[in-house]
Amino acid sequence: MANTVNYSESAAGGTQFASRLYGQLARSEPGRNIVLSPSSIRTGLALAYLGAEGSTADELKQGLGLEGGDKTEVAQKFAQLLAKGHGGQDGPKLKYANRIYVAQRFQLSQTYQDLVSKYFAAAAENVNFGQSADTARRINSWVEEQTHQEIKNLIAADCLDGDTAAILVNAIYFKADWESSFPDYATFARDFVNHGGQKVSVDTMSQEDYFRFAELPQLKAKALELPYIGTDIVFLIILPQEEQGLAFVEKKLKGLDLNEISCQLSRQKVQVQLPKFKFEFDVPLQPVLEELGIKELFAPEADLSSLLREWGPLRISEVKHKAIIEVNERGTTASGATYVKAQADSLLMGEKVFEFTADHPFFFAIKDAQSTHFLGHVSQL
């Protein structure tokens, strides 16, 4: 179906990328808790796209679902996403931050620098990758600062060396309180059945209130949205009806816009039981991105000629993502960071109360109508 509104078109591209990326990861890591920020990963790779030409640029544009006729238009759409950030003292916080670290022997091309500083608020900094420990410390402390000390040690010193040409880093931080917080006195230990069937006892929160909810027979699941105060971002949970039904649900979700699920929810009285959880997840993304058709970026024939002032053969040697999430009685804290490393190739309503008991593996998303800020699943506690 063709979208006539540009606004929803850009959402469609991002949503599709999020769904395809997550589908690949969820299939390869069924028993592991996952949290990732598709919008962070896509932003980091969009920074690479702005420096790419030819078939490398075409592949990235298609693989990332980038909308817009030229690079400026693509960059403008990202500016809209990045501008969505909230950051008041008390209210919800959503913050995207971008930075580019370039080897001292290179300079970014002026065109590239203008694009990324105008639309991505991305400062560029020359560093000595040969001094790997110092440079890793510098990059990691920037990421830590942007994610309020949540994401630590994104880059290991041994990932950097004299051949590293550039590192593109994107960080995202989200913290918000529930509109309806879970009372502390209602939290107590309950059973949770892990992926694979093992029972464990976990601190489980509980409350009864009006929430947007639906039973989704086509997914064999129930869905619930927990809203946050002061923002249109919500925490969407999709809970399989069957104890070990997560793989079926995630297979069905592949290619589905989560907004289609949100549209089916309506305000109902729901008794919610949700485990408290906190975990982090990090993953090298090259294999997954290659599955999505983004291959040339990593190959010797990559064309990143718009990135640097004097161009020599340059390719991306690594894309890594790390994210962390904490869900408790008061709300949610989630953050993520992505880095993209470029390497110089040695050239140098009734009163019925619905039950929503999340006591087995479930899928979640932190999203609004335009963007999926985080996606994940809880498989074991």
* Residue 347 banded pLDDT, cuts 50, 70, 90: very low
- Rounded (10°) CA dihedral 315, 154, 378, 218: -30
pLDDT tens digits, 21-79: 999 888 888 889 999 999 889 989 999 999 999 999 999 999 998 887 889 998 988 88
For 287, residues 6+ apart whose C-beta sits below 8 A from its C-beta are: none
Domains 6-176+279-344 and 178-277+350-378 share a fold: no
Q: Which has the higher per-residue pLDDT, 24 or 315?
A: 24
pLDDT of residue 168: 86
In this structure, of 162-171, 233-242, 307-316, the range with the lowest mean pLDDT score is 307-316
pLDDT of residue 88: 61
pLDDT of residue 125: 87
Please, what is the average pLDDT of the chain? Answer: 87
For 217, residues 6+ apart whose C-beta sits below 8 A from its C-beta are: none
pLDDT tens digits, 88-118: 666 788 888 888 888 888 888 999 999 999 9
Q: DSSP code of 182?
A: P
pLDDT of residue 85: 66
Rounded average pLDDT over 118-127: 88
For 90, residues 6+ apart whose C-beta sits below 8 A from its C-beta are: none
pLDDT of residue 346: 56
In this structure, of 138-142, 342-346, 360-364, the range with the lowest mean pLDDT score is 342-346
Angle at 102 between CA 101 and CA 107, to 5 degrees: 140
Read out DSSP for 301-360?
A: T---TTTBSS---EEEEEEEEEEEEEE-SSEEEEEEEEEEEEEE-S----SPEEEEE--S
Rounded average pLDDT over 240-257: 90
Which among 168, 155, 40 is positioned nearest to 94, based on CA atoms? 40
- Per-residue pLDDT at 18 exceeds 60: yes
CATH superfamily of this structure's domain 6-176+279-344: Antithrombin, subunit I, domain 2 (3.30.497.10)
CATH tag, 178-277+350-378: 2.30.39.10
Which among 256, 190, 187 is positioned nearest to 223, based on CA atoms? 256
Residue with tokens 């020599």, as numbered in its chain: 312
Read out DSSP for 22-43?
A: HHHHHHH-TTS-EEE-HHHHHH
The domains of the chain are located at: 6-176+279-344, 178-277+350-378
Question: What is the Cβ-side half-sphere exposure of residue 116, based on CA atoms within 13 angstroms?
Answer: 29
- Per-residue pLDDT at 243 exceeds 90: yes
DSSP-based helix, strand, coil % in the chain, nearest 5: 30, 35, 35
